[in-house]
Structure 1
Amino acid sequence: MALARIGISGWTYAPWRGVFYPPKMPHRLELEYASERLDSIEINGSFYSLQRPTSYRTWAEHTPDQFVFSVKGGRYITHILRLKNARTAVANFFASGVLALGHKLGPLLWQLPPTLQFEPDEVDAFLALLPRTTAQAAALAGETTLDEDRTHTAVSEDRPLRHAVEVRHASFDVPAFTELARAHGVAIVLADTAGRYPVIRDLTADFAYVRLHGDEELYTSGYTDESLDRWAAELGGWLQRGMDVYAYFDNDVKVRAPYDAMGLRDRLAEWTPRHH
């Protein structure tokens, strides 16, 4: 049975306090509150800097057993190195605590910068570097250059790992990129960016990954009932085909993301079993 995971990108936003989160709720309870209302959360602090194993363990401990996190890969890899000579950086990323999420570790998201053009050989090499199982990730993490007290490189069980790539340069919107992603079993993110970046609907893996940044204004505008109905129909069609679906709302500025996520989750209830 295919599963839909509908959630939000990040959960620590000051404007949400007293609106989505109850007034005076301690900040340390916000993750628990959000995870009881959604299926998944995209960890995006990992994009800005390496997080600590203690943080990943805490996040795992404060969410329901069936909850899943996706984890955004570091911008050092995607935006500074621009995917080149990235082996040590990817090893450090996986050593930094990602594996401490255990069975709550979902897909890894790699968001490329808008200035990065499609270079087939470089993309091919990067996708080939990505570990496909937690055991492979732990082995790669063993090459880390991080201090031992900043690392977690053990896994309790070997599980498959999924990867998704979000592209933001028009040169990626070509069959050659789709074929590369499909050859590596990596999902191309379907991103709704109010028309700013490419929209690629090709399905290249055994799951789909959707990021909803705002349909009219990037990071700001909410989704109407009609647009949520359309997204539910599209995602529901994938579920019917047996594909797991991960969808995250990133339109956080006006506190729309959690409500839109709950709205889409409710619409997909007929397509998929509940996790909780």
Structure 2
Amino acid sequence: MITIGLTGWSDHDTIYSGTSKHKLEDYAGNFPMVEVDTSFYAIPAPSTTERWVERTPDEFSFVVKAFQAMTKHKEWQQYYDSETEMYRRFMDAIAPMSERGRLKAILFQFPPYFSCTQENVRYLRAVRAKMGDLPVAIEFRNKTWYTETTRDQTLDLLKELGFIHTVVDEPQVGNGSVPIVLKATNEDMTLIRLHGRNSAGWMKANSPEWREVRTLYRYNAEEINYWAENIRYLQKQSKEIIVIFNNNSGGDAADNAKELQKALDISYEGLAPMQMNIFDL
């Protein structure tokens, strides 16, 4: 099974047919899954995630990014009285999705400075303990996890903890990025995130214009076919491959996702009905 989606549902102008109030519904009429990235910046209220579930078809699913203090981008003390409270709030937020069978995975995207150390290995073990048996995907942004001496140990650790390996395509800019590693660590699922290959934009993560340039990239036909082959290869290792296009800066993600869907000859059932635009009558 191959499930293709995008990061967020608000930045894809080519798929909207109605008003801004119906962007989620329009999105769900085109793709069967979405990555929720707003949860990285603030843990949503359960009432909010419940509305997302209610507004989408029963077949529609979510990958939810872990809150930024859960992935060491920030310190939990800035937001909550305890780390336990932070995790409880997050668990409450995802409950409406999880209880309805609509949660694909929780994505822990770690920062470039989260390197391969004993302390960080201990934290990964702590994450598994805190998240119980929920599906958790791990994305590294530091190359030290994939050196000649650490790569196999990293994959073994993810497999031991039941974590879903996140295979990434991103600019190669030193230790602050990771190579493409086509290995599954969970037989049920492998996650692929395609960030584009804009090296100059990737380095502007902390600049004012980072949203406009960081993932400004459009995959060409050769690159789409390359990933189609990689996906077929990973299908031999996991029952489901989730593919998320994150090249949103220039609005290319939706078109590239449609091109990959065509390259893989995939069609999806159970999508939301397309919203009617009165100007198309």
User: Are 1:214 and 2:196 matched, yes or no?
Assistant: yes
Deviates more, 1:47-56 or 1:113-122: 113-122
Secondary structure of 1:222 counterpart: coil
**In 2: Cα distance, 1:21 partner to 1:127 partner:** 38
Q: Which residue of 2 aligns with 1:204?
A: 185
Q: Which residue of 1 aligns with 2:206?
A: none
- Where structure 1 has 5 or more consecutive residues not aligned to the other structure, the ranges are 133-160
Q: Which residue of 1 aligns with 2:211?
A: none
Distance 1:242 1:202, change over 3 A: closer
Deviation at 1:170, TM superposition (A): 1.6
Q: Structure 1, residues 101-138: CA drift from partner, whole Å, max 9, x if none?
A: 22211111000011112232232222333221xxxxxx
Secondary structure of 1:69 counterpart: strand
**In 2: Cα distance, 1:264 partner to 1:208 partner:** 17
AA matched with 1:60: V
Deviation at 1:228, TM superposition (A): 0.8
The correspondence for 2:45, drawn from 24, 28, 52, is 52
Kept in 2, the 8 Å contact 1:6–1:246? The answer is yes
Kept in 1, the 8 Å contact 2:224–2:259? The answer is yes
Q: Which residue of 1 aligns with 2:141?
A: 168
Q: Which residue of 1 aligns with 2:268?
A: 274
Deviation at 1:274, TM superposition (A): 3.3
> Any residues of structure 2 matched to 1:61-76 within 5 Å, and which?
61-76=54-69
Kept in 2, the 8 Å contact 1:165–1:188? The answer is yes
Normalised to the residue count of structure 2, the TM-score between the two structures is 0.78
Number of aligned positions between the proteins: 236
- Where structure 2 has 5 or more consecutive residues not aligned to the other structure, the ranges are 77-81, 203-214, 271-281
The correspondence for 1:21, drawn from 16, 21, 45, is 16
Secondary structure of 2:70 counterpart: helix
Deviation at 1:242, TM superposition (A): 5.0
Deviation at 1:48, TM superposition (A): 0.4
The correspondence for 1:229, drawn from 208, 225, 229, is 225
Kept in 2, the 8 Å contact 1:193–1:215? The answer is yes
Q: Which residue of 1 aligns with 2:125?
A: 124
After superposition, the CA RMSD in angstroms is 2.0
**In 2: Cα distance, 1:239 partner to 1:201 partner:** 11
Deviation at 1:6, TM superposition (A): 0.3
> Any residues of structure 2 matched to 1:86-235 within 5 Å, and which?
86-95=83-92, 97-101=93-97, 102-119=100-117, 120-132=121-133, 161-173=134-146, 174=150, 175-196=152-173, 197-199=177-179, 200-206=181-187, 207-217=189-199, 218=202, 219-235=215-231
Kept in 1, the 8 Å contact 2:195–2:247? The answer is yes
Kept in 2, the 8 Å contact 1:128–1:184? The answer is no
Secondary structure of 2:184 counterpart: coil
**In 2: Cα distance, 1:170 partner to 1:74 partner:** 22
AA matched with 2:8: G
**In 2: Cα distance, 1:274 partner to 1:20 partner:** 16
Distance 1:81 1:205, change over 3 A: farther
Kept in 1, the 8 Å contact 2:41–2:67? The answer is yes
Normalised to the residue count of structure 1, the TM-score between the two structures is 0.79
Kept in 2, the 8 Å contact 1:20–1:255? The answer is no
